Amino acid sequence: METTEDPLLRRVPRWVVALVVLAVGASLAPAGGAVAAAEVRAITLPVQADQAGKVRWTDTYGAPRGGGRSHVGVDMMGVKMVPLVAVRAGTIVWGKFDDAGGNYVRMRDDEGWEYQYIHLNNDNPNSDDGKASCEEAFSAKICATVGANGRLAIGTRVAEGELIGYLGDSGNAESTSPHLHFEVYRPNGAGGVEPINPTPSVDAALAKLKGSPPPAGPVAAAPKPPAAPPPVAAPGQPGFADHLWFQVAGRLPTAAERSAFDTDTAANGLWPAVAARVGETSNAATVDRLYHAFFLRHPDTDGLRYWVGMRGSGQSVQKVADSFAASDEFRLRYPGTDFGAFIDQIYRNVLGRDPDATGRDYWLAQLANRKVTRGTIVASFSESQEMRNLTGWRNELAALQLVHAGAAPTAEDEARWNGLRQTSSLPDAIASWYAS
């Protein structure tokens, strides 16, 4: 829900806000306030982790700007459409989708600190046309809150590391190289905030990231999976249920799930019990389908295990899909801006057929009305029964091979598995797989 009063008005004079709204450039320090001393705020890097190598910055905090202004941010230079993420968990308190005037967003964390992202993208891919869709400036979640006047709804909740937008050159950065102008404000104890130099905080976030690099593939916001898996246990051995769940669900089983597995094993046998956990509804099978739908390939082992862990720690299919859609691999595969061509290509690549007229018209209308994103559409295709029917055997194998070998399946594995499944039920195929 949108409010009529902008929270920024309670912190700086209205003439400053007017300049921010009209120019959306380097922000002004509060009138009469001295620049706060530098300190380090523990944050996540505002650039998506696997894109950190595409940005660079130097400390220009406090540098003079025209009109007596001082630079109160850090300019993180990069390329358009680098994904930007929330540096802490919090809520949106200010922002606007305005390709002509500039796209920007401000958030407040749960401890009252605020963070501002300026110069978000306003161009279609491979252009400088100033005609980006909202989903090319902000995340789909934020775009769903944009009002008729372009204002972002106040109060939208974001998780630390969650996608919020894309780097660009909007506002008064049109004549400069694309960059994120990033600001950090600390509570001043009097109900307002004051700026601090964000550079040390960004430097620290990058150093932390380099100390524990993310796995290959797209990265998104979610709690980390457990640091170490449980001991590997063969079928029938103590601890096998923990090993099975960790590999296919990305987490340990609950007491109820472990008890149900033991009961199922005693009543129906080990292999039927395993088959019920590695089928098309498992997290591993779901991730394998998403890789096929978005990238038309098998997942690599690191990517498969990472995203299964993200699903196990609570990340929804849609959030995984949003991260895949923000990846370079997806953008290179679907580079155009024509909705019709995109829909046609998705039907052919994912489902192996031309679109039916009804389905095509439906998705085109959803896109045109900004009710869905491209990532939403691909995720919907991935979870459809038609897709499950097409890729069911390979999805089973992706889950099973994590349990059996701790790795994603190879092309040779898939050919052998398909041979087994042509003549065997899933429980019998699993038994043969382990016996070979």
What is the residue type of 424? S
Quick check: 153 and 86 in contact, CB under 8 A?
A: no
pLDDT in tens, the chain (436 residues): 333 333 333 333 333 333 333 333 333 333 333 334 458 999 999 999 888 888 988 887 877 665 566 788 999 998 899 999 999 999 999 999 999 999 999 999 999 999 999 999 999 887 888 999 999 999 999 999 999 899 999 999 999 999 999 999 999 888 777 899 999 999 988 888 899 999 999 998 998 888 744 344 433 333 344 446 788 889 989 999 999 999 999 999 999 999 999 999 999 999 999 999 998 889 999 999 999 999 888 888 888 988 898 888 888 888 888 888 877 778 778 876 678 888 998 899 889 999 999 989 988 888 777 777 788 888 889 988 899 999 999 999 999 999 999 999 998 999 999 999 999 999 999 999 999 8
Please tell me the predicted confidence (pLDDT) of residue 336: 67
Q: What are phi and psi of 92, to 5 degrees?
A: -75, 130
CATH superfamily of 7-211: Glucose Permease (Domain IIA) (2.70.70.10)
Please tell me the predicted confidence (pLDDT) of residue 225: 44
Closest CA to 233 of 275, 264, 274: 274
Domain boundaries, the chain: 7-211, 240-435
Please tell me the predicted confidence (pLDDT) of residue 161: 92
Please tell me the predicted confidence (pLDDT) of residue 66: 57
- Alpha-carbon gap, residue 432 to 89, rounded angstroms: 47
Q: Tokens for 22?
A: 């009209």
- Alpha-carbon gap, residue 112 to 89, rounded angstroms: 11
- CB 295: neighbour CB atoms within 10 A? 18
Q: Tokens for 1?
A: 């829900």
- CB 125: neighbour CB atoms within 10 A? 15
Please tell me the predicted confidence (pLDDT) of residue 67: 59
Please tell me the predicted confidence (pLDDT) of residue 325: 81
In three-state form (DSSP H/G/I as H, E/B as E, the rest C), the secondary structure along the chain is CCCCCCHHHHCCCHHHHHHHHHHCCCCCCCCCCCCCCCCCCCCCCCECHHHHHHCECCCCCCCECHHHCECCCEEEECCCCCEEECCCCEEEEEEECCCCCCEEEEEEECCCCEEEEEEECCCCCCCCCCCCCHHHCECHHHHCCCCCCCECCCCCEECCCCEEEEEECCHHHCCCCCEEEEEEEEECCCCCEEEECCHHHHHHHHHHHHHCCCCCCCCCCCCCCCCCCCCCCCCCCCCHHHHHHHHHHCCCCCHHHHHHHHHHHHHHCHHHHHHHHHCCCCHHHHHHHHHHHHHCCCCCHHHHHHHHHHHHCCCCHHHHHHHHHCCHHHHHHCCCCCHHHHHHHHHHHHHCCCCCHHHHHHHHHHHHCCCCCHHHHHHHHHCCHHHHHHHHHHHHHHHHHHHHHCCCCCHHHHHHHHHHHHHCCHHHHHHHHHHC
Please tell me the predicted confidence (pLDDT) of residue 374: 82
pTM over cut 0.75: no
What is the residue type of 434? Y
User: Residue written as tokens 């797989």?
Assistant: 433
